[in-house]
Amino acid sequence: MLALANARVLLDDGFAGDKVVLIDGTKIAAVVDATDPRVAKAERHDLAGAWLLPGFVDCQVNGGGGALFNDAPTVETIRTIGAAHRRFGTTAFLPTLISEDFSMIARALKAVRHAIESGVPGVIGVHIEGPFINEARRGVHDAAMIRDLDTRDVALLSSLGAGCTLVTLAPEMTTPATLRHLAMEGVVLSAGHTDGTYEEITESFRNGVRGVTHLFNAMSPMHHRTPGAAGAALADPDCWCGIIVDGVHVHPAVLRIALAAKRAERFMLVTDAMPSVGSDQDWFMLQGRRIRVQDGICVDENGTLAGAAVDMATSVRNCVQMLGLPLARAARMASTYPAEFLGLGAELGRIAPGYRASLVAMDSGLEVTRTWIDGAAA
């Protein structure tokens, strides 16, 4: 038994300064008072007053540590990306493949399956972002890859067999029946790179689409007469919204407006991170194009944003320092809510008995000092 003591622990009702988290193997055994007899018998780790939060869950990670999933969808790439992001508090993530052809998607799924089976720390599934998107909102995605979603794709996207499969697609480019079929197979659907109207996106929420990918980016914007995909996402009380909080992808004022529009539980931080996160690279190649990393952003030769250069710890800090959110809320947007979005809310994203012991400790400056994944410290 491991006892994590002397921390300010984020529990369901807020921070507690007098609790000790007991870890037994891979799970949280109990959250107890310091005087509990089990604490004296456990191996004690003094966290020196750190914030102890549920480990961050990042649904959108293209790369990190110099590696890009699209470049080589292999177990090694997933391991490199996971290790890079772990330093910033991410203890669960979905390697994310940007629009590719059928065989590359198959390779990506195979690599993620093998990574999960071989216990690569942190990988909990895959995010297939495109190619079933709208060319009008493709952003940096390769136009040549974009195509319709057919029955062969449905079978492939439903085939992971381990962990979660999240698919970003443009609902208007496929049929309600296909959306319902994928959702029934357990695929988590998110609307993104979409030019759908408010009506089309709202309708897609009734056909199995659970959320939107990087709210406001690469989607029909909210205009007061045509609310678009962004308006549909904010008007629907239940849809989850992934947000990139690097201060560039979405203006802080617009993020504050969005966060005021509906309940906190429906927002989740994603990094959309590129290989530069956790490395000192100032450029990388994406599908044959050179992407520059400067001033905290990634841009192609036309100045189009190509993913992000932000990490999860910085995103949480930005929520607190740039948006003025309480740390508890920011931390839940980085852990509890994405876990719930993925259907893992009963095992991941909270500090509570029976939950996976995936945790992050941050110091008073909100820098990561330590992480645990399923009870293993680093």
Residues taking part in catalysis: 272
Measured at the CA of 59, the angle between CA 364 and CA 227, to 5 degrees, comes to 105
Calculate the alpha carbon distances from 255 to 22, 189, 226 in Å. 37, 23, 19
> CB under 8 Å to 339, separation ≥6 — which residues?
54, 57, 92, 345, 347, 348, 349, 350
Q: How far apart are CA 125 and CA 187, in angstroms?
A: 11
Alpha helices in the chain, H assignment, sequence order: 37-41, 75-86, 102-117, 151-157, 176-184, 198-205, 228-235, 252-261, 312-321, 327-333, 336-341
Q: Tokens 């490199």 appear where?
A: 80
Could you write out the three-class secondary structure of 19-75? EEEEEECCEEEEEEECCCHHHHHCEEEEEEEEEEEECEEEEEECEECCEECCCCCCH
Alpha carbons within 13 A on the beta-carbon side of 6: 7
User: Residue 54, exposed/middle/buried by CB under 10 A (0-12, 13-18, 19+)?
Assistant: buried
Q: How far apart are CA 232 and CA 217, in angstroms?
A: 14
Would you call the peptide bond into 73 cis, given omega within 30 degrees of 0 as the criterion?
A: no
Q: How far apart are CA 257 and CA 217, in angstroms?
A: 15
